[in-house]
């Protein structure tokens, strides 16, 4: 069971997010009480993942509040203003994610599961926004590329090498198709691959999988 702490600007926003996540039996959802800093909320709830609904302009300030927390959870950021600097900061640390506020409940659950597993997650719309990056963004991208594949990503890569589609991979691993897509997106970034075929070719060349 993954404990998720919701920190949103209003009670209505928190309730809406809790409703989207409520359908998942694998998540224990906690809404952060008003009047406490993020560090205090984290200390009280001891979450595995912090779901932070915040505007891009306040993201840095809100994330700085985490400095006082004795134990840092993975962070999933929801924002309607995805800027390169926000994406760069969020993707610098393993297990962080950036999604638009319009993300579906299934996308949120998949991102939370992936972040809890230590993956760096970005919604496809976010990745498109971050394409024309500055030098700081390029450094953030380089940090992603240097990360080794996780055991689950290698499993997915091996199944891709067998020619299996996302639906079959999801069924075999007991995860959602959205989670499979996040694993594949993470692999593409780490391997610097632009397609499934290229990812498999690089995986074979590096000895990650055998065909």
Query: What distance in Å separates the CA atoms of residue 203 and residue 179, rounded to the nearest whole number?
Result: 20
Q: What is the share, in percent, of the chain residues with pLDDT greater than 90?
A: 7
Residues whose CB falls within 8 Å of the CB of residue 73, separated by 6 or more in sequence, listed in order: 5, 42, 47, 48, 49, 50
Q: Which pLDDT value is given to residue 83?
A: 52
Nearest residue to 73 via CA among 148, 152, 150, 4: 4
pLDDT at 193: 84
* Domains along the chain with CATH numbers: 2-146 (3.40.50.2300), 148-206 (1.10.10.10)
- Pairing status of strand 27-31 against strand 49-53: unpaired
Average pLDDT of the segment spanning 149-176? 89
pTM value > 0.85: no
Helix (H) or strand (E) holding 34: none
Check residue 64 and give its pLDDT.
64
pLDDT band at 159 (very low <50, low <70, confident <90, very high): very high
Query: Is the pLDDT assigned to residue 51 strictly greater than 70?
Result: yes
Q: What letter does residue 194 receive in the DSSP assignment?
A: S
Name the residue with higher pLDDT: 11 or 136.
11
Lookup: tokens for 170: 């999801």
Residue 171 clears pLDDT 70, i.e. is over it: yes
Q: Six-digit token pair at 106?
A: 């299934």
Q: What is the pLDDT of residue 146?
A: 44
Mean of pLDDT values over 23-31: 85
Q: CA–CA separation, 105 vs 27, rounded Å?
A: 12
In this prediction, residue 210 carries a pLDDT of 76
Mean pLDDT, the chain, integer: 75
Q: How far apart are CA 96 and CA 49, in angstroms?
A: 9
pLDDT of residue 88: 47
């Amino acid at each position: 069971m993954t404990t998720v702490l919701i920190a949103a600007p209003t009670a209505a926003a928190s309730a809406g997010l809790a409703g989207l996540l409520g359908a998942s039996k694998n998540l224990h959802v906690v809404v952060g009480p008003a009047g406490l800093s993020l560090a205090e909320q984290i200390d009280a709830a001891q979450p595995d993942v912090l779901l932070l609904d915040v505007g891009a302009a306040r993201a840095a300030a809100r994330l700085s509040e985490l400095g006082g927390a004795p134990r840092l959870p993975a962070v999933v950021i929801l924002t309607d203003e995805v800027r390169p600097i926000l994406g760069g900061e969020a993707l610098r640390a393993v297990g962080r994610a950036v999604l638009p506020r319009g993300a579906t409940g299934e996308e949120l659950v998949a991102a939370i599961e992936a972040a809890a597993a230590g993956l760096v997650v970005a919604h496809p719309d976010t990745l498109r926004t971050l394409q024309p990056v500055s030098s700081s963004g390029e450094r953030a991208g380089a940090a992603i590329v240097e990360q080794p594949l996780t055991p689950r990503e290698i499993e997915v890569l091996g199944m891709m090498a067998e020619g299996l589609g996302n639906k079959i991979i999801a069924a075999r691993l007991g995860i959602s198709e959205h989670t499979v897509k996040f694993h594949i997106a993470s692999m593409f970034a780490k391997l610097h691959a632009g397609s499934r075929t290229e990812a498999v070719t690089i995986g074979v060349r590096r000895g990650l999988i055998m065909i």
